[in-house]
Amino acid sequence: MMAAGRVLVIDDEAFIRELVGDFLSFGEIACNKVATLPDALELMKDNSFNLVLLDRNLETIRGEQIIPRLRRIHPGIPVVIMTGDHQFSENSLKHIAANGVLHKPFKLDEFMQIIGKFLESE
């Protein structure tokens, strides 16, 4: 079981937002799900999150452009990039200041293992 944590999910695909929400609820982890950067920034102003799961390709902006904006509000917040690009690797993370990568489609066990790295176990 994971400790109480709150995750912000930013993905423009409703199916992915729902899938990730279901996976997190399976681990009893609270989450907010948004489709756009403005919605994410608004939520972050008024809420505390332990982790951001960020789609690498939102409709109008790339994940690497979003991370600095998120960290202006919450410095140091861990960000895990979700991507279908299997060329995007752990090495790619250094260039965009992300903390982890989840390749789509992801399986529940792989997903929970990566989330577990950022949310303390009880």
Which domains, ranges and CATH numbers included, belong to the chain? 6-118 (3.40.50.2300)
Q: What is the pLDDT at residue 97?
A: 86
**In the predicted model, is pLDDT for residue 122 greater than 50?**
no
Q: What is the pLDDT at residue 86?
A: 80
What distances in angstroms separate CA 111 from CA 16, 19, 45, 62, 88, one per listed residue? 13, 11, 27, 22, 17
CA–CA dist 94, 64 (Å, integer): 11
**Partners of residue 100 on adjacent β-strands:** 80
Q: What's the pTM value of the predicted model, to 2 decimals?
A: 0.91
Q: pLDDT for 44-96, tens place per residue?
A: 999 999 999 999 998 888 888 999 999 999 999 999 999 988 888 777 777 78
pLDDT cut 70: percent of the chain above it: 94
